Amino acid sequence: MQSIHILVGTTSGNTEFLAGELEIALQAEGHTTTFHDLPAIHEIPTEGLWLLCVATHGAGEYAESIVQFMEDLAQQQPNLAAVRYALVAIGDSSYDTYCQAGLDADQLLSQLGATRVADILTIDMMLDPAPETTATKWLENWQDHRGA
């Protein structure tokens, strides 16, 4: 089993709750997890598996709990070639910037050499009546990629 770093970008707490449900599912599979509800660049190893749960805030910006981490990545440009990641992008489809922060995070991680191991899951918090269930089902679909 693997150690998985869960990085959360939330403003209202909904994304943190969703990430917590994914953490429970991963731990039930026997994985070790480290939950970062306020990720800091010096606390996250530049190797291994990351699971990012990123909400879009305002006009397409990162949610407040992850904005500094993403800015630090963009400025410091660490080599993330040893990082594999999966990403859950959370948004509201009534905005033209639907899930933009998650898409931006994916692009940045890719530019820094990280490898995405699953399709991005986009969750519309306005239309999905059970986003935690949607995310848990998605998690099951990329189990093989995690080396479980």
Count of positions (residues) in the chain: 148
Whole-Å CA distances, 95 to 90, 91, 98, 106, 141: 12, 8, 5, 19, 28
Could you tell me the residue range of the domain that residue 133 belongs to?
A: 3-139
Residues 6 or more apart in contact with residue 144 via CB below 8 angstroms: none
Q: What are the backbone angles phi and psi of residue 55, rounded to the nearest 5°?
A: -90, 145
Domain count, the chain: 1
Give the tens place of pLDDT for each residue, 25-57: 999 999 999 999 999 999 999 999 999 999 999
CATH number at residue 43: 3.40.50.360
Range list of H helices, the chain:
14-28, 67-76, 100-111, 131-141
27 within a domain of the structure (yes/no): yes
Residue 148: both structure tokens together: 């479980």
Q: What is the distance between the alpha carbons of residues 34 and 140, in angstroms, rounded to a whole number?
A: 19
pTM, two decimal places: 0.93
Give the tens place of pLDDT for each residue, 93-110: 999 999 999 999 999 999
